[in-house]
Structure 1
Amino acid sequence: MVISSLMLATGGKVDSTAKLVVRGLLRCPRCESGIAAVQAAAPARAFVCQDPDCEMSQAGFPALDGIPVLVDFDNSVLSREEVQLAGGSSYKDRSTGFLQKVHDFFWRSASPTAANADRFIAEAKRLDPHPIILVIGGGTIGSDAEALYRDPDLTLIGTDIYKSDLTLIIADGHQIPLASGAIHGIWVQAVLEHVLTPEQVVAEIHRVLVPDGVVYAETPFMQQVHEGPYDFTRFTPSGHRWLFRHFDEIDGGITRGPAIVMLWSIRYFVGSLFGSYKVGTMAATGLFWLRHFERLSRPSYAADGASAVYFLGRRSQRAMKPKDIIAYYKGAQR
């Protein structure tokens, strides 16, 4: 039986009564052929590739509580056995309890993300009044990204490497299990530092977007390790732009500047002295007022010492040239 429908997120949550047709949208992450559901199958082999020559037509893909796990495990940091044993849960506690809310209150500084989310949505609606939006790393709602989940005109497809109420497909961004040219917009916030090969993920983003499809990415520049063994890469503003060289830039810049970098550094320095990140967090939180100096930073200097950067762009058929990236530099060291 070919998959004819899949639960999608509309207006920020999975609607259990509304099944939107996604016939032909899902693809095998190994060979990009269609995916079929196996009737009366064991959860370990709930979906299979439709190409008989593909190994995944026999090995198949598991499902966890009805969520398809469309991962090419032979080419991923994820292990089939570990994902199934953990029931798809995250290795990290991602609950947002009282202490986390207190932490966010003291640590969160002014950011352009909320305004950028509105711009991203407007750009996607230029392509279609009811755009399909893929949220890579969509297991939780990103900081200041609530607009995506409030807009009833958006159809959100949330993917992540763990299961949550917002995860519709467990997937590895290196092999997005969706058809080429199927998505109007892609939101990838605080994700690209956690993938082994960011260039491959961005190439996949380019592949699945419709012509002129839009992408919004936020990625750290100066931040310490924050996802343990799943933290790999950082980008300068210019390096981030080069990563998206096959996209036309609508806007780009920094999300948070040197004051936040200093708080991160204090947190990890004190944590190293006491052998406790909790103690380090307490020490940095006591200096939360330093974040208010962020607004005094000169933009060019802030760019050279930013905590994180963002890119809003449109899918293009032409690539930025190497010499153009030198002219792109906006820092204070010209």
Structure 2
Amino acid sequence: MWDKPNVLYNIASLFQERCPYPPPIESSRTMTPISAPSSERVADARRRRLTRISAALACPRCGGALDRSESALRCEGCAADYPVRDGRIYFVDVPARTDDFDRIKGWMKRVFGRAYYTVGITLLAPTFPINFARVVTRLVDPAAQLIVDAGSGNNTLHPDIVAIDLFDYDAVDIVCRLEALPFRSDTIDAIVSRSVLEHVADPARVVGEFHRCTKRGGLGIHMIPFLFPVHASPADYHRFTPEGHAVLFREWTAVSRTNPTGPVTVILLYMIEVVATILGFGVARLRSLVYLVLCGISFPIKFLDVVFVNRKAFMSLAASILSVVRKAPE
């Protein structure tokens, strides 16, 4: 019996073979897609990840060391308590969702799990597919290094990558705010994010936290929208040009900056936005429904972008830009 989500994902991934990054490094662990892991497997994997990263944890309020019990972590400095539920650490309370489209996306992430990303995002969404997990594992070895996926959503990039998010999706290991990361300085080998930094009010502060927590010589791998329509989920604040990336990551050394999407994606995105807005007649929920239907109808068009991605000449026409940066060794 073939696994439909994974087969569709692999088909879509064929369009992203022309990758400008270094060849895959040798890893001590084979990355195996997991379509429907058992609750026991999920719990075991989370325990393993949190055990690996436990020495790097610190109080996000004062930076103090943490004492762990079965039900909570307590800061030795300020005595703050952080509950542990279902093996997941909560450094903040999960906020309520207030945006209709965000509620729909949140519900879909929980109901469909990994298929939301392998089928919903990679195949049906109007953006050219990028195998972000492959990009990450070409540059770092999650089995041997501490890697954090910031703003992971309900997605597991790799069984050994620690997932953090403001919402407690099943795939999330640590619930926290990106503006105050619960890690000691210079302890993480790489922090990665995909379409996250536009959703934080102060991206410079968040990138500053990434820099603080990353080891010297460590990497940052971040994909951020550029010519992309506003998509409040739950909020959308920023867009960054190529020069904007240089300013945002000015404390880092640029390794590469590429366009994982091209002008076809940009045109398709805005066409869907315009038609959904017109046919939504000012009703937010109807507009969201029309948007999803249009995505399902028009998604094959995005694959025409294959001739434009990862080409410097089309950087100014990219829906998103991918920056790989390195923290100075000394």
> TM-score w.r.t. structure 1 length?
0.70
2:44 is equivalent to residue 15 of structure 1: yes
Alignment partner, residue 305 of structure 1: 317
1:221 Cα deviation from its structure 2 partner = 0.7
Alignment partner, residue 76 of structure 2: 50
- In the alignment, the residues of structure 1 paired with residue 69 and residue 104 of structure 2 have an alpha-carbon distance, to the nearest angstrom, of 26
1:110 Cα deviation from its structure 2 partner = 5.0
- In the alignment, the residues of structure 2 paired with residue 184 and residue 25 of structure 1 have an alpha-carbon distance, to the nearest angstrom, of 11
Alignment partner, residue 165 of structure 2: 160
CA contact (8 A) 1:90 1:162 kept: no
- In the alignment, the residues of structure 2 paired with residue 115 and residue 68 of structure 1 have an alpha-carbon distance, to the nearest angstrom, of 27
**Which one of the candidate residues 53, 63, 72 is aligned to 2:84?**
63
**Which one of the candidate residues 175, 184, 188 is aligned to 1:179?**
184
- In the alignment, the residues of structure 2 paired with residue 116 and residue 99 of structure 1 have an alpha-carbon distance, to the nearest angstrom, of 20
Q: In structure 2, what residue type is equivalent to 1:267?
A: I
1:135 Cα deviation from its structure 2 partner = 1.1
- In the alignment, the residues of structure 2 paired with residue 274 and residue 90 of structure 1 have an alpha-carbon distance, to the nearest angstrom, of 18
The alignment covers a number of residue pairs equal to 274
2:139 is equivalent to residue 120 of structure 1: yes
Q: In structure 1, what residue type is equivalent to 2:66?
A: I
Alignment partner, residue 96 of structure 1: 112
Alignment partner, residue 109 of structure 1: 128
Structure 2 CA distance for partners of 1:182 and 1:297, relative to 1, 3 Å: closer
Choose 157-166 or 105-114, whichever is displaced more.
105-114
1:198 Cα deviation from its structure 2 partner = 0.7
- In the alignment, the residues of structure 2 paired with residue 211 and residue 241 of structure 1 have an alpha-carbon distance, to the nearest angstrom, of 19
Alignment partner, residue 230 of structure 2: 225
Structure 2 CA distance for partners of 1:23 and 1:268, relative to 1, 3 Å: closer
Helix, strand or coil at the partner of 2:206: helix
Structure 2 CA distance for partners of 1:115 and 1:228, relative to 1, 3 Å: closer
CA contact (8 A) 2:255 2:324 kept: yes
- In the alignment, the residues of structure 2 paired with residue 247 and residue 224 of structure 1 have an alpha-carbon distance, to the nearest angstrom, of 28
**Which one of the candidate residues 268, 272, 297 is aligned to 2:273?**
268
Structure 1 residue runs of 5 or longer lacking an equivalent are 1-9, 84-88, 150-154, 319-334
CA contact (8 A) 1:120 1:312 kept: no
1:115 Cα deviation from its structure 2 partner = 4.9
**Which one of the candidate residues 209, 213, 216 is aligned to 1:204?**
209
Structure 2 residue runs of 5 or longer lacking an equivalent are 1-29, 35-41, 98-102, 281-286
Helix, strand or coil at the partner of 2:179: helix
Structure 2 CA distance for partners of 1:257 and 1:163, relative to 1, 3 Å: same
**Superposition RMSD in Å:** 3.4
Structure 2 CA distance for partners of 1:110 and 1:190, relative to 1, 3 Å: closer
2:28 is equivalent to residue 28 of structure 1: no
**Off by >6 Å, runs of 4+ in structure 1:** 97-100
Structure 2 CA distance for partners of 1:187 and 1:21, relative to 1, 3 Å: closer
Choose 100-109 or 240-249, whichever is displaced more.
100-109
Structure 2 CA distance for partners of 1:270 and 1:15, relative to 1, 3 Å: same
1:159 Cα deviation from its structure 2 partner = 0.7
Choose 253-262 or 223-232, whichever is displaced more.
223-232
2:294 is equivalent to residue 283 of structure 1: yes
> TM-score w.r.t. structure 2 length?
0.71
- In the alignment, the residues of structure 1 paired with residue 54 and residue 123 of structure 2 have an alpha-carbon distance, to the nearest angstrom, of 43
- In the alignment, the residues of structure 2 paired with residue 115 and residue 228 of structure 1 have an alpha-carbon distance, to the nearest angstrom, of 25
- Higher RCO structure (Cα 8 Å, ≥6 apart): 2
1:314 Cα deviation from its structure 2 partner = 1.1
Q: Look at both structures and tell me which one has the larger radius of gyration over its CA atoms.
A: 1
